[in-house]
């Protein structure tokens, strides 16, 4: 990390809020490019902050605070002179692009509340702002409530989902003033006239998960739904970062790594560990339910034929008659075919540290390389620490991790890169025929601009079996594997269907991680999502459409010079389970005319 000294721009001024005047102590930090500015200030004794981009208010006066031991850290506040430093570094990321840039100015502002010391940390980057409070260590301190808020200017369009402890709610389009009193989960994305703004939190550790309730004045207030009575600690209290991502367009939005940047880097050995390998996986549960011992050889053969790296044995293997002996045999046979095995694990087996390490030891002895850990409890302070402890212990055993039924992503994969993915999304596991459930058509088109902004997700994409399509087309299903990024890319469909599909060659070429991502013209969350992604020297275009059929023009300028072998897979008019496929040669000067059906899609594969 490169850290440079910097001069803080601070001032005392007279501010106007509404029609009242108040003497306000302001501490201001601007982004490295000068476009984003954050102000922390005190008005009438209350600690507040606001955010501007190019002079436009993104957040108006918003609250900061923690209630602890009966003291409102955020009232009767006085600010001292801050220290500011510059952060400027790059690091590897597994996901929608291969390199992350963390360039920001970060200020530490000493403060007092009714005479009690605390600190305000302010992180201002070109793509947004993060702020948090820190309270000093104190024996027997009780943290009672969180007073965070985001006060969005005006009445922007919002894309939000209802609070669900497993973060599997449906995303829908609404407006700020239409949000009801029911709690909603993070992240939330808002659209101003010329800006996109996403709010969430980063670095959730040793603290309860934050949800949102709309206040009487439309301020979005945070509350600790899983810790209604708070907790007691002797340690320093570090509030997770309260994050506001700001982007001028959708490409900037989806390429933000502000959430990950706000987490500590891994130690050197883990950062370059050669056993942390992204890959694609087959998975039996969605198509056939609990795994049957006698069928596992077939699943491994299918995995090899697809060229996938992993096979996940899901819930039910723990009930096999000779559980560990059978698992060792399956892993051994799979290794001969260059297929690595993941297994499903209930969180109850790995909650306690001693039991967790003993269980991990058994898995490693059997040759397992990854664990899908399911059904953690709602994320209070204790469980927020459990995620980190489990990731650390898994890393000690060189185990990869997929957290399911999990709390939202807050960037821990930067610190623990062996955590390849987590669920925290309503995906194909929800939409399954035997459960008689169907995803709302807008949900898929919103996810790339909400849930996937904070980290990868295990949506388990792409089913081709007719009864599981639920009115999606094959082109829509194939596009999911490109749009819904996950370094552990676990396909939901039966591999027999994947192998026999006319898009088999395209599907087999789709990687688990990407080098570059661009959002294409015509994209509109809630209606249609169109992206171009690059991996090495090949490009993919993926379109996910909502209810209404429509037309897109896709300029291929991202291809640059030369001729490109191109496979174009469109919706077949009037049929869900068929492609209109064309293989041709195209160049960067060409423009594709694409018609998409309701709940349809499009995939283009370009290589030279």
Q: At what angle do helices 296-306 and 323-336 cross, to 10 degrees?
A: 30
Rounded to 5 degrees, what are φ and ψ at 82?
A: -85, 165
CA dist 520 and 189 (Å) reads: 18
CB 581 within 8 A of CB 569: yes
List the beta bridge partners of residue 3.
87
Distance of alpha carbon 540 from alpha carbon 269, whole angstroms = 33
Average the pLDDT over 564-575 and give the result.
Answer: 97
pLDDT for the residue numbered 216? 86
Determine the pLDDT at residue 16: 28
pLDDT of residue 420: 98
Give me Rg for the CA atoms of the chain.
Answer: 25
Q: H or E segment at 583?
A: strand 579-587
**Tokens read off for 527:** 């209606």
- Write phi, then psi, for 373 (nearest 5 degrees): -100, 120
Residue with tokens 């002179």: 81
Non-local CB neighbours of 97 within 8 Å, separated by 6+ positions:
255, 514, 515, 516, 517
Given a cut of 70, is residue 315 above it in pLDDT? yes
Asked whether the CA dihedral 546, 551, 557, 562 is positive or negative, the reply is positive
Q: pLDDT higher for 23 or 208?
A: 208
Q: Average pLDDT of 140-145?
A: 98
**136-140, 267-271, 592-596: which has the minimum mean pLDDT?**
267-271
Q: Cα-Cα-Cα-Cα dihedral of 312, 314, 320, 323, to 10°?
A: 50
How far is Cα of residue 223 from the mean position of the Cα atoms in its chain?
20
The domain ranges of the chain are: 2-261, 268-513
Q: What's the burial of 181, exposed, middle or buried (CB within 10 Å: 0-12/13-18/19+)?
A: exposed
Cα(128)–Cα(130) distance, integer angstroms: 7
Do 600 and 577 meet the contact criterion of CB atoms below 8 Å apart?
no
4: alpha, beta or left, given left = phi > 0 and alpha = psi -120 to 50?
beta
Positive or negative: CA dihedral 401, 402, 406, 408: positive
Q: How far is CA 208 from CA 148, 238, 263, in A?
A: 13, 11, 17
Q: Name the token pair of 443.
A: 């949900």
Task: Return the closest-CA partner of residue 46 out of 70, 21, 24, 68.
Answer: 24
Question: Which DSSP string do the residues of 64-78 spell out, in sequence order?
Answer: --EEETTEEETBSEE
Alpha carbons 142 and 237: distance in angstroms, whole number:
10
Specify the pLDDT at position 438: 85
What class, spelled out in words, does domain 268-513 have in CATH? alpha beta
Residue 24: what pLDDT? 56
Q: How confident is the model at residue 62 (pLDDT cuts 50, 70, 90)?
A: very high
Question: Which pLDDT tens digit goes with each residue over 77-136?
Answer: 999 999 999 999 999 999 999 999 999 999 999 999 999 999 999 999 999 999 999 999
Cα distance between residue 198 and residue 194, in whole Å: 14
How do residues 356-369 score in pLDDT, each as one tens digit?
999 999 999 999 99
pLDDT tens across 238-257, in order? Answer: 999 999 999 999 999 999 99
Q: Which helix (H) or strand (E) holds 495?
A: helix 495-500
Q: How many CB atoms sit inside 10 A of residue 575's CB?
A: 12
pLDDT tens for 509-530 read: 999 999 999 999 999 999 999 9
Coil/strand/helix, residue 453: helix
Asked whether the predicted pLDDT for residue 5 surpasses 60, the reply is no
Phi-psi region of 424 (alpha: psi -120 to 50; beta: other; left: phi over 0): left
Return phi, psi of residue 136, to 5°: -65, 155
Q: Which two tokens stand for residue 172?
A: 């829908």
Token pair for 519: 């959002």
Positions of E strands within 136-195: 141-146, 149-150, 157-160, 172-175, 188-191
| pLDDT above 50: residue 432 | yes
Distance separating alpha carbons of residues 222 and 456, to the nearest angstrom: 24
Q: Is the peptide bond prior to 511 cis by the omega test (within 30 degrees of 0)? A: no
SS3 10: strand
- Cβ-Cβ contacts under 8 Å for 4 (sequence gap 6 or more): 85, 86, 88
**What's the CATH code, domain 2-261?**
2.70.98.10
Instruction: Please give the DSSP secondary-structure letter assigned to residue 339.
Output: -
Is the CB of residue 505 less than 8 Å from the CB of residue 568?
A: no
Residues 6+ apart with CB under 8 A from 259: 200, 202, 243, 245, 409, 410, 411, 453, 454, 455
- Does position 270 have pLDDT exceeding 60, yes or no? yes
Mean of the per-residue pLDDT values of the chain? 94
Query: Which pLDDT score, from 0 to 100, does residue 9 have?
Result: 36
Per the structure block, which two tokens stand in for 435? 């459960």
């Amino acid at each position: 990390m490169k850290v440079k000294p910097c001069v803080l721009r601070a001032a005392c001024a007279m501010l106007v809020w509404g029609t009242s005047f108040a003497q306000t102590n302001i501490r201001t930090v601007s982004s490295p490019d000068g476009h984003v500015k954050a102000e922390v200030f005190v008005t009438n004794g209350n600690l507040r902050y606001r955010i501007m981009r190019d002079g436009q208010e993104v957040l108006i006066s918003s609250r900061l605070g923690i209630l602890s031991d009966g003291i409102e850290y955020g009232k009767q506040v006085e600010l001292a002179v801050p220290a500011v430093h510059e952060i400027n570094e790059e690091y590897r990321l597994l996901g929608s692009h291969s390199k992350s840039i963390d360039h920001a100015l970060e200020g530490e502002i000493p403060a007092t509340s009714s005479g009690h010391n605390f600190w305000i940390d302010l992180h201002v980057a070109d793509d947004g702002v993060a702020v948090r409070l820190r309270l000093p260590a104190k024996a027997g301190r009780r943290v009672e409530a969180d007073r965070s808020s985001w006060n969005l200017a005006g009445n922007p369009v919002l894309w939000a989902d209802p609070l669900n402890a497993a973060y599997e709610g449906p995303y829908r389009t609404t407006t700020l003033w239409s949000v009801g009193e029911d709690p909603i989960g993070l992240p939330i994305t808002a659209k101003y006239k010329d800006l996109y703004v996403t709010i969430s939190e980063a670095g959730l550790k040793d603290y309860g998960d934050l949800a949102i309730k709309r206040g009487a004045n439309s301020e979005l207030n945070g509350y600790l739904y899983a810790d209604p009575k708070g907790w007691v600690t002797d340690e320093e209290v570090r509030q997770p970062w309260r994050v506001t991502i700001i982007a001028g367009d959708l490409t900037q939005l989806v390429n933000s790594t502000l959430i990950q940047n706000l987490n500590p880097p891994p130690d050197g050995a883990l950062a370059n560990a050669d056993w942390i390998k992204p890959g694609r996986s087959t998975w039996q549960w969605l198509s056939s339910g609990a795994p049957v011992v006698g069928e596992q050889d077939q699943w491994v053969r299918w995995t090899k034929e697809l060229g996938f790296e992993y096979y996940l044995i899901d819930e039910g293997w723990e009930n096999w008659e000779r559980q560990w002996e059978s698992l060792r045999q399956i892993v051994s046979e799979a290794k001969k075919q260059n297929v690595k095995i993941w297994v499903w694990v209930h969180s109850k087996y790995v909650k306690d540290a001693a039991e967790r390490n003993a269980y991990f030891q058994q898995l490693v002895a059997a040759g397992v390389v990854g664990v899908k850990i399911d059904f953690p409890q709602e994320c209070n302070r204790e469980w927020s620490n459990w995620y980190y402890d489990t990731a650390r212990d898994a890393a000690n055993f060189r185990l990869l991790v997929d957290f399911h039924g999990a709390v939202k992503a807050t960037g821990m994969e930067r610190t623990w890169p062996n955590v390849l993915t987590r669920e925290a999304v309503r995906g194909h596991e929800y939409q399954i025929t035997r459960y008689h459930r169907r995803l709302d058509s807008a949900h898929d088109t919103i996810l790339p601009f909400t849930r996937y902004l904070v980290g990868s997700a295990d949506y388990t994409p792409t089913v081709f079996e007719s009864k599981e399509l639920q009115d999606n087309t094959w082109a829509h299903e194939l596009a999911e594997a490109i749009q819904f990024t996950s370094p552990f890319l676990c396909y939901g469909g039966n591999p027999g269907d994947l192998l026999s599909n006319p898009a088999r060659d395209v599907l087999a070429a789709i990687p688990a991680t990407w080098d570059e991502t661009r959002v294409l013209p015509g994209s509109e969350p809630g209606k249609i999502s169109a992206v171009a992604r690059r991996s090495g020297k090949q490009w993919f275009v993926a379109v996910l459409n909502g209810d209404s059929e429509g037309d897109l023009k896709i300029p291929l300028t991202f291809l640059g010079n030369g001729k490109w072998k191109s496979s174009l897979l469109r919706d077949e008019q009037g049929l869900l389970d068929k492609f209109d496929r064309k293989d041709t040669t195209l160049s960067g000067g060409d423009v594709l005319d694409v018609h998409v059906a309701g709940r349809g899609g499009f995939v283009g594969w370009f290589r030279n």
